[in-house]
Structure 1
Amino acid sequence: MSTLFLRSSSVNIRFGVFVVLSIMVMFVDHNQGHLKIIRSALSTLVYPLQYIVNLPVEAAEWVSVSLATHNNLLEENDRLKRDHLLLNSKLQRYEILESENQRLRNLLESSFRLNDRVLVAELVAVELQSFRRQIVINKGQREGAYDGQPIVDAAGIMGQVIHVGPFSSTVLLITDPNHALPVQVNRNGLRAIAVGTGQRNKLLLENLTNNADIRVGDLIISSGLGQRFPSGYPVGQIEKVTRDPGEVFAKVLIKPSALLSQSREVLMVWPYKNINETKSTTGNETIGDKIE
Structure 2
Amino acid sequence: MNKVFARGPSLFYRLCIVLTLSVIGMVMDAKVESVSTARTYLTSLVSPLQYVADMPGAILDWSASRFTSRQTLLVENERLTNKITLMNEKLQRFTVLKQENENLRRLLDAPVQSGMHRMIAELMAVDNNPYSHQIVINKGAIHDVYEGQPVLDDTGIVGQIVEVGTTNSRVLLISDITHAIPVRISRNNVSVIAGGAGVVTELSLEHVAHSADLQEGDLLVSSGLGKVFPEGYPVGVIESIVRDESKPFSKVTAQTSAQLDRIKYLLLLWPPESAPADSLSPDQLGQKVDE
Q: TM-score range by the shorter chain?
A: 0.7 to 0.9
Task: Answer whether contact 1:114 1:230 (CA < 8 A) is retained.
Answer: no
**Matched residue SS, 2:261:** coil
Q: Secondary structure at the match of 1:166?
A: coil
Distance 1:230 1:212 in 2: 24
* Distance (whole Å) between structure 2 residues aligned to residue 245 and residue 54 of structure 1: 108
The answer to whether the 8 Å contact 1:224/1:231 transfers is yes
Equivalent residue, structure 2, for 1:267: 267
Instruction: Kindly provide the amino acid, as one letter, of the partner of residue 118 in structure 1.
Output: R
Counterpart of 1:164 in structure 2 is 164
1:206-217 → structure 2 map (5 Å cutoff): 206-217=206-217
Aligned pairs for 1:8-157 within 5 A: 27=33, 43=44, 48-110=48-110, 112-113=112-113, 115-157=115-157
TM-score (norm 2): 0.76
The offset of 1:127, in angstroms, is 0.7
Deviates more, 1:257-266 or 1:109-118: 109-118
Displacement of 1:179 after TM fit? 0.5
Structure 1 residues 63-95: Cα deviation after superposition (integer angstroms, max 9, x where no partner): 211221222122212222322232223222222
* Secondary structure of residue in 1 paired with 2:241: strand
SS in 2 for 1:261: helix
Aligned to 1:288: none
Report the alpha carbon displacement of residue 42 of structure 1 after superposing the two structures with TM: 7.5
Name the aligned partner's letter for residue 151 of structure 2.
I
Note the C-alpha offset of 1:47.
5.8
8 Å contact from structure 2 (residues 152, 158) kept in 1: yes
Gaps of 5+ in 1: 279-292
Note if contact 1:230-1:271 (Cα within 8 Å) is conserved in structure 2.
Answer: no
Kept after mapping to 1: 8 A contact 2:221/2:233: yes
| Contact 1:140 1:165 (C-alpha < 8 Å) held by counterparts | yes
Report the equivalent of 1:190: 190
The letter for the 1-side match of 2:75 is: E
What residue identity is the alignment partner of 1:132? S
Q: How much does 1:173 deviate?
A: 0.5
Provide the aligned C-alpha RMSD in A: 3.5
Asked if the contact 1:243/1:250 (under 8 Å) is kept, the reply is: yes
List runs of 5+ in structure 2 lacking aligned partners. 1-7, 277-291
Instruction: Indicate conservation of the 8 Å contact 2:28/2:35, yes or no.
Output: no
- 1:115 deviates by 3.5
Give the distance between the partners of 2:204 and 2:86, measured in 1 at CA: 48
Instruction: Confirm or deny: 8 A CA contact 2:220 2:236 kept in the other structure.
Output: yes
SS where residue 171 of structure 2 aligns? strand
Q: Report what 1:224 is aligned to.
A: 224
SS in structure 2 of the partner of residue 107 of structure 1: helix
Cα distance in 2 for residues equivalent to 1:217 and 1:53: 94
The SS at the match of 1:56 is helix
User: Residue deviations 1:21-49, cap 9 Å, x none?
Assistant: 65566x3698xxxx69x968984x66654
Q: 2 CA distance for matches of 1:217 and 1:138?
A: 35
**Aligned match of 1:258:** 258
The 3 A distance-change label for structure 1 pair 209 and 234 is: same
* Residues paired across the two proteins, number: 266
Q: Structure 1 residues 203, 114: CA separation in 2 closer, same or farther (over 3 Å shift)? A: farther
Q: CA deviation at 1:211?
A: 4.6
- Paired with 2:60 and 2:81, the residues of 1 have a C-alpha distance of 31
CA gap of 1:188–1:78, structure 2 versus 1, over 3 A, is same
Is the contact made by 2:29 and 2:35 (CA closer than 8 Å) also made in structure 1? no
Whether the aligned pair in 1 keeps the contact of 2:201 and 2:256 (CA below 8 Å) is yes
Preserved CA contact (<8 Å) 1:111 1:118:
no
The answer for the alignment partner of 1:244 in structure 2 is 244
- Structure 2: which amino acid aligns with 1:145? V
Between the aligned residues of both structures, percent identity stands at: 39
AA in 2 matched with 1:256: T
